[in-house]
Amino acid sequence: MSNKILVLGGTGKTGRRVVERLRGMKLPVVVGSRNTQPAFDWEDSTTWGEVLKDINKVYITFQPDLAIPSAVETIQAFVEAAKESGVQHLVLLAGRGEKEAQLCENIVINSGLDWTIVRASWFMQNFSEGFFLDSILANEMVLPKTNSKEPFINVDDIADVVVNALLDNIHSKKIYELTGPELLTFENAVSRIAGVKKQNITYQEVSIDEYVAMLRSYQLSEDFIWLVKYLFTELLDGRNESVTNDVEKVLGRKAKDFDNYVVETLETGIWNEKN
């Protein structure tokens, strides 16, 4: 029987780290993305069969987010394709507190395969590998007003948990809620980065309508704008304002904190000034 592991979104924030860890253990890994050969595209199910050949386990990171209305149909079709292809274990990354994403989680849970659900809070790395990087580089952060604090998580911790889930069946039929160790506002997070960068980063809060208008002026896709609006208006309503100890439960060590993330990220040079 094959022991190949497919990592979807294997070049992304969590996927890349999962791939590195599995390869470091000399395990056979297939990276799935639109830029791999063969390519995997969530929007084109004809690409899935080739990538699923001889795969035993899959780490699923969906794009752009399991909360989008079309995700249920896509995940249903993907789980069917994976089962037909002989896959035995699915590990699904989901957003914490996303009721809509739970419809997709249920498809995985009811698949008849081994499964693990990993629900994550906002990634710390959004400030260094994601959507907020440009604002940090420009020393100017504009965000919609929120009253809620978020327990940002380091994606290294997510990758460590996912690797455990893929390799040890003790994690089958488990739902983990992964958070960092402390609650921070977005303003707190930005000011910690500014402190370590030794750079003033202005922080401005605007209404969600003003923010959406700003995103439209950058000609971002309507799907992306829908998602940002959902994340800031629905998800950041206080429902996720708590920390869990699931990272420690799985890894036997504490979750990494935000200050550690900031220091490590500064050392990579990713926040150096733009030329």
Ligand X SMILES: NC(=O)c1ccc[n+]([C@@H]2O[C@H](COP(=O)([O-])OP(=O)(O)OC[C@H]3O[C@@H](n4cnc5c(N)ncnc54)[C@H](OP(=O)(O)O)[C@@H]3O)[C@@H](O)[C@H]2O)c1
Cβ proximity to ligand X, 63 vs 242, nearer residue: 63
Q: Is 42 in the site for ligand X (CB under 6 A)?
A: yes
Cβ proximity to ligand X, 63 vs 199, nearer residue: 63
Q: Is 34 in the site for ligand X (CB under 6 A)?
A: yes
* Min separation Cβ 208 and ligand X, Å: 18
When binding is defined by CB under 6 A, the residue of 61, 116, 146, 265 that contacts ligand X is 61
Phi-psi region of 54 (alpha: psi -120 to 50; beta: other; left: phi over 0): left
Q: Is 43 in the site for ligand X (CB under 6 A)?
A: yes
When binding is defined by CB under 6 A, the residue of 1, 25, 35, 46 that contacts ligand X is 35
When binding is defined by CB under 6 A, the residue of 19, 30, 51, 65 that contacts ligand X is 65
* Min separation Cβ 264 and ligand X, Å: 17
Q: Which residues pair with 154 in a beta bridge?
A: none
What's the residue count for the chain?
Answer: 275
Rg (CA), the chain: 19
Cβ proximity to ligand X, 130 vs 260, nearer residue: 130
Is 166 in contact with 91 (CB distance < 8 Å)? yes
Is 30 in contact with 5 (CB distance < 8 Å)? yes
Chain position whose Cβ is nearest to ligand X: 12
* Min separation Cβ 198 and ligand X, Å: 26
Q: Is 15 in the site for ligand X (CB under 6 A)?
A: yes
* Min separation Cβ 200 and ligand X, Å: 25
Segment 151-210, which members bind ligand X (CB under 6 A)? none
Phi-psi region of 61 (alpha: psi -120 to 50; beta: other; left: phi over 0): beta
In angstroms, the CA 166 to CA 7 distance is 10
In angstroms, the CA 50 to CA 61 distance is 18
Cβ proximity to ligand X, 74 vs 198, nearer residue: 74
In angstroms, the CA 251 to CA 161 distance is 7
Cβ proximity to ligand X, 41 vs 205, nearer residue: 41
Segment 74-103, which members bind ligand X (CB under 6 A)? 93, 95
Residue type, position 6, single letter: L
* Min separation Cβ 224 and ligand X, Å: 10
Reported in sequence order, the residue ranges of the chain that DSSP labels E, i.e. its strands, are 4-8, 29-32, 55-60, 89-95, 114-120, 140-144, 174-178, 202-206
Is 44 in contact with 33 (CB distance < 8 Å)? no
Residue 257, CB-side half-sphere exposure with 13 Å CA sphere: 7
List interacting residues with ligand X (CB under 6 A): 9-15, 33-35, 40-43, 61-63, 65-66, 93, 95, 120, 122-123, 126, 130
